[in-house]
Structure 1
Amino acid sequence: MYQTQSPVLFIVFNRPDVTAQVFERIAAAKPPRLYVAADGPRAAKAGEAELCEQTRAIINKVNWPCEVKTLYREQNMGCKEAVSSAITWFFDNEEEGIVLEDDCLPGDGFFEFIDAMFERYRHDSRIRHIGGANLQHGQKWGDASYYYSNLTHVWGWGGWRRVWQQYDKELTRYEADEVRPELEKIFTDPFMLDSWEEIFKRVKAGEIDTWDYQYTFLNFFNNSLSVIPNVNLITNIGFGENSTHTHDVTNRNANIPLGKLGNIAHPKYVLPQKQADEATLMHDFAVIERRIALAKYNLRRRRFKRWLKGLFKKQAP
């Protein structure tokens, strides 16, 4: 079994079942340093304190040579504060490392892939994120083991202090009226632009309790590239009613099968696969459905105008 050279941040909360599964994969990879961050229980949530304790107890099973550091919160901070501060804590201590949340189950090749990408892109400022999840559902892009993307998938990833130190949790550096013209340099579809613009406004207004959109915008606005494996190396096992964000168990991105990369082959050109990103966002932002709805609306509107015009003609003297 491959033994990773990278430190790992493991972010957990109140789900001992999925936490135990992901911990088993981490234990098999035997990272030299393991950072564990856990948000505190919600006071109004009955039984959550016990679940949090059960989850934290899993970390006591570390049985390989490993330096373990913990950041256990007594009070609940919420996803935005708890996760972003945990990642900041991690990169305050490490120049680079792997981040896994409790529902992101890595496959056999995940740790080896991240280590190899660290080795290759450690000093390449064009590359600012290494993803483990592939959401292309069997579609491969190019002949290499991975492709480059403008998107930032965070279901199991590798990152650097050099990037995270620019993280802006409140998006204070950016103004809403400036965002769309900048995003138009990345995306052309109006529905995708509408969606990103709305997400930006809601995140900046504090209406979405999350940390990852801010990281995505950071990379958008710095013209950065992510590395995405051409097979899926992370499966999200956390979809369901106990999840914070991923509730729909029928979502096509739930429990995607794991693949194997084999020997790593590198792309010849360092350019984003725009079609791959569009394929992901077409689904995530329901672009086709929205296009159909708009076409139907416009059709009804044109028919109404023709009817109205015909009515006036009939009434004319």
Structure 2
Amino acid sequence: MTPITAPILIFTYDRPAHTRRTVESLQKNLLAEYSEVFFYADGAKSENDRHAVDEVRHYIKSIKGFKKISIIERTRNYGLSANIIDGVSEILSKHPNIIVLEDDIVTGPYFLKFMNESLSRFESNDQIWHISGWSHPILPDGLADCYFWRGMDCWGWATWADRWAHFEKKPHLLKSTWSRDKIFRFNIDGADNLWRQVEDNISNNINTWAIFWYATIFDRNGLCLSPTVSLVNNIGFDGSGENCGVSADFHVNLSKNQVNSWPICIEESTIALKRIKQFYLLKKIYSPIKLATKLFQKFRVIK
């Protein structure tokens, strides 16, 4: 029988090399040949970007290896946030579920299998709102091949139309209605400062979407499913991305194994949560050390 697969959205802009790596890794996935792919190619911000934008569009028109390919070429620049919100909403108005990638996400060979199986397995469970392909680099000991927790990761993800229908991007409403205790839990019990992204959207320092999808899920006590060992790697932390700087903090060892075991209980994993909090706390400790080391190396006088 031909497998039933969710449509895949890939959002592109002006990074042909990243886009090629994203597509080539996806082509090697089990179920790729049965999957329909929609490319949302954003328009150029300026003439300086037009050549790279055109190069990406030329490349995606040559792609094969999938069941069907559709290309939506934006006639103007939407920006990443609006492009994703509009594209996801459009496809989910016609399909019950969806798998989403940006142009800097390299996938392991069983990413699509995990996404499609998870979408099918939890379709009728309204506690589960989101499937992540990426996972923090935590120890897998004591965990199944995947786990539930409150956090939403957007580097290769999937959801259902009935869940996405609740999505709201209303930062001022969040700021006026959420309590300190709620913000503390939202910030992974104070281990990170995710709330800062909400405030930065209010002040127009950034214009993002993912933090509001997390807020939508969190506000409804939803759970997200993550693989214990990441099935994707974000290659965009090289200064080329719209919202990513240069960093190796979130690099992971990409799993090439299938997800075969699932959590027994539909509840947040205390083990995974503890290890994720440790990851962020250690990151806070080591970031100033790394900065000081870089500054020392830059300004030291070699005698």
TM-score (norm 1): 0.80
- Cα distance in 1 for partners of 2:92, 2:141 equals 31
The structural deviation recorded for 1:70 is 2.5
Aligned residues: 284
Q: Are the structure 2 counterparts of residues 58 and 179 from structure 1 closer, same or farther at C-alpha, using a change threshold of 3 Å?
A: farther
Residue by residue over 1:115-152, the C-alpha shift from the partner in whole angstroms, topping out at 9 and shown as x without a partner, is 11112101110110000111124x11634210101000
The structural deviation recorded for 1:203 is 2.5
Residue by residue over 1:268-307, the C-alpha shift from the partner in whole angstroms, topping out at 9 and shown as x without a partner, is 11211245345435555777549x9xxxxxxxxxxxxxxx
Alignment correspondent of 1:167:
167
CA contact (8 A) 1:176 1:201 kept: no
- Cα distance in 1 for partners of 2:188, 2:54 equals 47
Alignment correspondent of 2:266:
270
**One-letter code aligned to 2:98:** G
Q: Which stretches of structure 1, 4 residues or more, deviate above 6 A after TM superposition?
A: none
- Cα distance in 1 for partners of 2:23, 2:284 equals 39
- 1:179-198 paired onto structure 2 within 5 Å: 179-184=179-184, 189-190=189-190, 192=192, 195-198=193-196
Alignment correspondent of 2:156:
156
Q: Report sequence identity in percent.
A: 20
Alignment correspondent of 1:239:
237
3-state SS in 2 of match to 1:247: coil
- 1:197-208 paired onto structure 2 within 5 Å: 197-208=195-206
- Cα distance in 2 for partners of 1:156, 1:20 equals 16
- Cα distance in 2 for partners of 1:253, 1:212 equals 17
Alignment correspondent of 1:136:
137
1:30 equivalent to 2:26? Answer: no
CA contact (8 A) 1:130 1:159 kept: yes
3-state SS in 1 of match to 2:61: helix
**One-letter code aligned to 1:33:** E
The structural deviation recorded for 1:101 is 0.7
Residue by residue over 1:75-117, the C-alpha shift from the partner in whole angstroms, topping out at 9 and shown as x without a partner, is 2222221222122122122210210111011101111111111
**One-letter code aligned to 1:133:** W
3-state SS in 1 of match to 2:52: helix
**One-letter code aligned to 2:250:** N
2:44 to 19, 36, 41: 41
Alignment correspondent of 1:93:
94
**One-letter code aligned to 1:272:** E
- Cα distance in 2 for partners of 1:143, 1:277 equals 11
Alignment correspondent of 1:252:
249
- Cα distance in 2 for partners of 1:239, 1:197 equals 21
Alignment correspondent of 2:125:
124
CA contact (8 A) 1:176 1:200 kept: no
Q: Are the structure 2 counterparts of residues 287 and 265 from structure 1 closer, same or farther at C-alpha, using a change threshold of 3 Å?
A: closer
Q: Are the structure 2 counterparts of residues 112 and 60 from structure 1 closer, same or farther at C-alpha, using a change threshold of 3 Å?
A: same
**One-letter code aligned to 1:162:** D
Q: Are the structure 2 counterparts of residues 39 and 187 from structure 1 closer, same or farther at C-alpha, using a change threshold of 3 Å?
A: closer
The structural deviation recorded for 1:178 is 2.3
1:217 equivalent to 2:218? Answer: no
Any gaps of 5 or more consecutive residues in structure 1? Answer: 293-317
CA contact (8 A) 1:141 1:230 kept: no
Alignment correspondent of 1:76:
77
- Cα distance in 2 for partners of 1:157, 1:209 equals 20
CA contact (8 A) 2:27 2:66 kept: no
CA contact (8 A) 2:43 2:77 kept: yes
The structure with the largest alpha-carbon Rg is: 1
71-80 vs 176-185, which deviates more?
Answer: 176-185
Q: Are the structure 2 counterparts of residues 70 and 281 from structure 1 closer, same or farther at C-alpha, using a change threshold of 3 Å?
A: farther
**One-letter code aligned to 2:83:** A
Alignment correspondent of 1:308:
none
**One-letter code aligned to 2:157:** W
**One-letter code aligned to 1:252:** D
Q: Are the structure 2 counterparts of residues 188 and 23 from structure 1 closer, same or farther at C-alpha, using a change threshold of 3 Å?
A: closer
CA contact (8 A) 1:282 1:288 kept: no
Residue by residue over 1:36-73, the C-alpha shift from the partner in whole angstroms, topping out at 9 and shown as x without a partner, is 11211111x62x11111111122222334633332221
Any gaps of 5 or more consecutive residues in structure 2? Answer: 289-303
CA RMSD of aligned residues (A): 2.8
